[in-house]
Protein backbone atom coordinates (compact mmCIF):
# COMPACT_ATOMS: atom_id res chain seq x y z
CA UNK A 1 0.00 0.00 0.00
CA UNK A 2 1.49 3.34 -1.05
CA UNK A 3 1.12 5.93 1.63
CA UNK A 4 -1.06 8.57 0.00
CA UNK A 5 -0.19 11.25 2.55
CA UNK A 6 3.45 11.49 1.49
CA UNK A 7 3.94 14.44 -0.87
CA UNK A 8 6.15 12.36 -3.15
CA UNK A 9 6.81 8.75 -4.08
CA UNK A 10 10.17 7.09 -3.75
CA UNK A 11 11.62 4.30 -5.87
CA UNK A 12 14.81 2.67 -4.63
CA UNK A 13 16.72 1.43 -7.66
CA UNK A 14 18.56 -1.33 -5.89
CA UNK A 15 18.16 -4.94 -4.86
CA UNK A 16 20.54 -4.49 -1.92
CA UNK A 17 19.06 -5.55 1.42
CA UNK A 18 21.34 -3.13 3.27
CA UNK A 19 20.21 -0.13 1.16
CA UNK A 20 16.58 -1.14 1.66
CA UNK A 21 17.12 -1.27 5.42
CA UNK A 22 18.84 2.13 5.55
CA UNK A 23 16.16 3.87 3.50
CA UNK A 24 13.44 2.34 5.70
CA UNK A 25 15.33 3.55 8.81
CA UNK A 26 15.22 7.04 7.30
CA UNK A 27 11.43 6.82 7.45
CA UNK A 28 10.66 6.60 3.73
CA UNK A 29 8.08 4.34 2.16
CA UNK A 30 9.30 3.16 -1.19
CA UNK A 31 8.95 0.67 -3.99
CA UNK A 32 11.89 -1.37 -5.24
CA UNK A 33 13.15 -1.72 -8.78
CA UNK A 34 16.42 -3.26 -9.79
CA UNK A 35 18.56 -2.30 -12.74
CA UNK A 36 19.98 -4.65 -15.34
CA UNK A 37 23.36 -3.26 -16.20
CA UNK A 38 26.72 -4.70 -17.09
CA UNK A 39 28.80 -3.22 -14.27
CA UNK A 40 32.00 -4.65 -15.72
CA UNK A 41 31.35 -2.77 -18.95
CA UNK A 42 31.67 0.59 -17.22
CA UNK A 43 35.17 1.85 -16.61
CA UNK A 44 36.35 5.23 -15.32
CA UNK A 45 39.65 6.80 -14.25
CA UNK A 46 38.76 7.31 -10.58
CA UNK A 47 36.55 5.40 -8.12
CA UNK A 48 34.50 8.59 -7.60
CA UNK A 49 33.74 8.87 -11.34
CA UNK A 50 33.07 5.14 -11.50
CA UNK A 51 30.41 5.04 -8.75
CA UNK A 52 28.62 8.06 -10.24
CA UNK A 53 28.68 6.47 -13.72
CA UNK A 54 27.37 3.16 -12.31
CA UNK A 55 24.54 4.91 -10.46
CA UNK A 56 23.66 6.82 -13.65
CA UNK A 57 23.59 3.56 -15.63
CA UNK A 58 21.34 1.99 -12.99
CA UNK A 59 18.99 5.00 -13.04
CA UNK A 60 18.83 4.97 -16.87
CA UNK A 61 18.06 1.25 -16.89
CA UNK A 62 15.20 1.76 -14.43
CA UNK A 63 13.87 4.80 -16.30
CA UNK A 64 13.66 2.80 -19.50
CA UNK A 65 11.81 0.03 -17.63
CA UNK A 66 9.38 2.59 -16.19
CA UNK A 67 8.69 3.99 -19.65
CA UNK A 68 7.67 0.56 -20.89
CA UNK A 69 5.36 0.02 -17.91
CA UNK A 70 2.08 1.62 -18.87
CA UNK A 71 1.34 4.05 -16.08
CA UNK A 72 -2.28 3.30 -15.17
CA UNK A 73 -2.13 5.11 -11.89
CA UNK A 74 -2.52 8.84 -12.50
CA UNK A 75 -0.46 10.15 -9.66
CA UNK A 76 0.26 13.84 -9.52
CA UNK A 77 2.99 13.50 -6.94
CA UNK A 78 6.61 13.72 -7.94
CA UNK A 79 8.45 10.41 -8.11
CA UNK A 80 11.97 10.36 -6.72
CA UNK A 81 14.27 7.63 -7.99
CA UNK A 82 17.30 6.84 -5.84
CA UNK A 83 20.20 4.93 -7.38
CA UNK A 84 23.46 4.16 -5.63
CA UNK A 85 26.70 2.30 -6.06
CA UNK A 86 29.59 1.45 -3.76
CA UNK A 87 33.09 0.25 -4.52
CA UNK A 88 35.99 -0.59 -2.25
CA UNK A 89 39.37 1.01 -2.83
CA UNK A 90 42.44 -0.83 -1.61
CA UNK A 91 45.94 0.52 -2.27
CA UNK A 92 44.55 2.69 -5.03
CA UNK A 93 42.77 -0.12 -6.89
CA UNK A 94 39.01 -0.45 -7.20
CA UNK A 95 37.53 -3.69 -5.93
CA UNK A 96 34.11 -4.93 -6.89
CA UNK A 97 32.46 -8.17 -5.75
CA UNK A 98 35.02 -10.99 -5.42
CA UNK A 99 34.90 -13.44 -8.34
CA UNK A 100 35.24 -16.49 -6.06
CA UNK A 101 36.26 -17.69 -2.60
CA UNK A 102 39.96 -17.49 -3.44
CA UNK A 103 39.69 -13.82 -4.39
CA UNK A 104 37.55 -13.05 -1.32
CA UNK A 105 40.21 -14.66 0.89
CA UNK A 106 43.00 -12.58 -0.73
CA UNK A 107 40.95 -9.40 -0.32
CA UNK A 108 40.25 -9.92 3.38
CA UNK A 109 43.84 -11.01 4.11
CA UNK A 110 44.89 -7.68 2.61
CA UNK A 111 42.64 -5.71 4.97
CA UNK A 112 44.07 -7.54 7.98
CA UNK A 113 46.22 -5.06 9.90
CA UNK A 114 45.70 -2.58 7.07
CA UNK A 115 43.10 -0.27 5.70
CA UNK A 116 40.62 0.15 2.88
CA UNK A 117 38.16 2.79 1.78
CA UNK A 118 34.65 2.70 0.40
CA UNK A 119 33.50 5.19 -2.19
CA UNK A 120 29.74 5.34 -2.52
CA UNK A 121 27.50 7.35 -4.78
CA UNK A 122 23.91 8.48 -4.45
CA UNK A 123 22.05 9.71 -7.52
CA UNK A 124 18.61 11.21 -7.17
CA UNK A 125 16.30 11.80 -10.14
CA UNK A 126 12.96 13.59 -9.98
CA UNK A 127 10.93 11.83 -12.68
CA UNK A 128 8.43 14.67 -12.88
CA UNK A 129 10.87 17.55 -13.41
CA UNK A 130 13.83 15.66 -14.84
CA UNK A 131 16.12 17.07 -12.13
CA UNK A 132 19.06 14.76 -11.53
CA UNK A 133 22.02 15.07 -9.21
CA UNK A 134 24.63 12.67 -7.95
CA UNK A 135 27.34 12.98 -5.33
CA UNK A 136 29.79 10.62 -3.66
CA UNK A 137 30.99 9.92 -0.16
CA UNK A 138 34.23 8.30 0.97
CA UNK A 139 34.89 6.38 4.19
CA UNK A 140 38.26 5.10 5.46
CA UNK A 141 38.29 1.82 7.41
CA UNK A 142 41.20 0.58 9.53
CA UNK A 143 41.52 -3.04 10.64
CA UNK A 144 43.31 -4.94 13.37
CA UNK A 145 44.93 -8.24 12.39
CA UNK A 146 42.15 -10.63 11.30
CA UNK A 147 42.90 -14.27 12.26
CA UNK A 148 42.85 -16.82 9.44
CA UNK A 149 40.13 -18.87 11.12
CA UNK A 150 37.88 -15.79 11.17
CA UNK A 151 38.53 -15.24 7.45
CA UNK A 152 37.63 -18.89 6.76
CA UNK A 153 34.41 -18.58 8.78
CA UNK A 154 33.46 -15.44 6.86
CA UNK A 155 34.00 -17.18 3.54
CA UNK A 156 32.12 -20.28 4.65
CA UNK A 157 29.21 -18.10 5.78
CA UNK A 158 29.22 -16.48 2.34
CA UNK A 159 28.03 -12.88 2.78
CA UNK A 160 31.48 -11.54 1.86
CA UNK A 161 31.19 -13.13 -1.59
CA UNK A 162 28.30 -10.84 -2.52
CA UNK A 163 29.61 -7.44 -1.45
CA UNK A 164 32.09 -5.04 -3.04
CA UNK A 165 35.66 -5.92 -2.10
CA UNK A 166 34.40 -8.71 0.19
CA UNK A 167 34.22 -5.93 2.76
CA UNK A 168 31.68 -5.93 5.56
CA UNK A 169 32.19 -4.07 8.80
CA UNK A 170 28.89 -4.63 10.60
CA UNK A 171 29.10 -8.44 10.47
CA UNK A 172 29.43 -9.99 13.98
CA UNK A 173 32.48 -12.01 12.90
CA UNK A 174 34.42 -9.00 11.60
CA UNK A 175 33.21 -6.30 14.00
CA UNK A 176 35.80 -7.03 16.73
CA UNK A 177 38.59 -6.53 14.16
CA UNK A 178 37.45 -3.13 12.92
CA UNK A 179 39.82 -0.63 14.51
CA UNK A 180 38.42 2.65 13.23
CA UNK A 181 35.86 3.92 10.74
CA UNK A 182 36.44 7.46 9.50
CA UNK A 183 33.00 8.25 8.13
CA UNK A 184 29.60 6.63 8.59
CA UNK A 185 28.63 2.97 8.66
CA UNK A 186 25.56 3.59 6.49
CA UNK A 187 27.87 4.89 3.76
CA UNK A 188 29.96 1.71 3.92
CA UNK A 189 26.74 -0.33 3.75
CA UNK A 190 25.75 1.38 0.53
CA UNK A 191 23.57 4.40 1.27
CA UNK A 192 24.92 7.45 3.13
CA UNK A 193 21.86 8.85 4.94
CA UNK A 194 22.88 12.51 5.15
CA UNK A 195 23.80 12.69 1.47
CA UNK A 196 20.61 10.88 0.40
CA UNK A 197 18.50 13.25 2.51
CA UNK A 198 20.26 16.31 1.08
CA UNK A 199 19.80 15.19 -2.53
CA UNK A 200 16.13 14.32 -2.04
CA UNK A 201 15.52 17.81 -0.65
CA UNK A 202 17.33 19.39 -3.60
CA UNK A 203 15.36 17.29 -6.06
CA UNK A 204 11.94 18.29 -4.76
Q: Which of 3, 75, 85, 148 is catalytic?
A: 85
Residue of 146, 122, 94, 97 lying closest to 196 (CA atoms): 122
Q: Decide if 85 is catalytic.
A: yes
Chain centroid to CA 26: how far?
15
Helix residue spans in 28-79 (DSSP H): 47-68
Distance separating alpha carbons of residues 84 and 136, to the nearest angstrom: 9
- For the CA atoms of 176, 180, 184, 188, what is the dihedral angle to 10 degrees? -60
E strands in the chain:
9-12, 31-32, 79-90, 93-95, 115-126, 132-143, 178-182
Distance separating alpha carbons of residues 89 and 95, to the nearest angstrom: 6
Residues designated catalytic: 85
Amino acid sequence: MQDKTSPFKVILGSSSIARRKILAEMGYEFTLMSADIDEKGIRKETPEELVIALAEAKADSILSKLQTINNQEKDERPIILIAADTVVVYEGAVREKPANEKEAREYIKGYSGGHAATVGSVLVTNLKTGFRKGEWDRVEIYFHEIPDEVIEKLIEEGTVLHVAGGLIIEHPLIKPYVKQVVGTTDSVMGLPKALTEKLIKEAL
